[in-house]
Amino acid sequence: MAIVTAVFCCVGALAITGSLYHIDKDLLGWWLCERQVKSGGLNGHPEKLPNVCYSWWVLSRLIMIDRVQWIHKEKLVKFILDCQDKEKGGISDRPDDVVDVFHSYFGVADYQLVAVACLSLAAKVEKTQVPLLLDFQVCDIALLNTQCGGIKICD
């Protein structure tokens, strides 16, 4: 198991119990932000390759500790979109790998988390221009449920 999944569980438990004050949010935020690699993707621990699913584990905790503004969101979105099979649909763990339902789910969830984070940050600084969630569309629910082919990028 990657370290970030354990962090996900621990920080989530602290948040549920109202005990986030027990952690150094800056130190944890720094460590989580260090998971972002040059490609824009996030890894599970140092020296590990980036993976779409790690984006969920890391990004959701950064939002929870109010440090999501510390990562390069545009590069993360590009990484997620690069993991997409633009012909058949679906999202893989990394660019040019085979798509699967697990990573397709996390890829769309990650993308939505980025949009929510941007919207939240925009509201804090009173900006009116925020990213849209129209880059993904579900083309065929039945196909999505059976084979990772139902998520495609809109042109």
Q: What is the pLDDT of residues 69-88, one digit of tens each?
A: 899 988 998 999 899 998 88
- Residue 145: per-residue pLDDT: 37
- Residue 143: per-residue pLDDT: 37
- Residue 119: per-residue pLDDT: 65
pTM given for the model = 0.76
90: left (phi over 0), alpha (psi -120 to 50) or beta: left
Give percent of the chain above pLDDT 70.
75
Q: Is 9 helix (H, G, I), strand (E, B) or coil?
A: helix
- Residue 136: per-residue pLDDT: 45
* Residue 155, pLDDT above cutoff 90: no
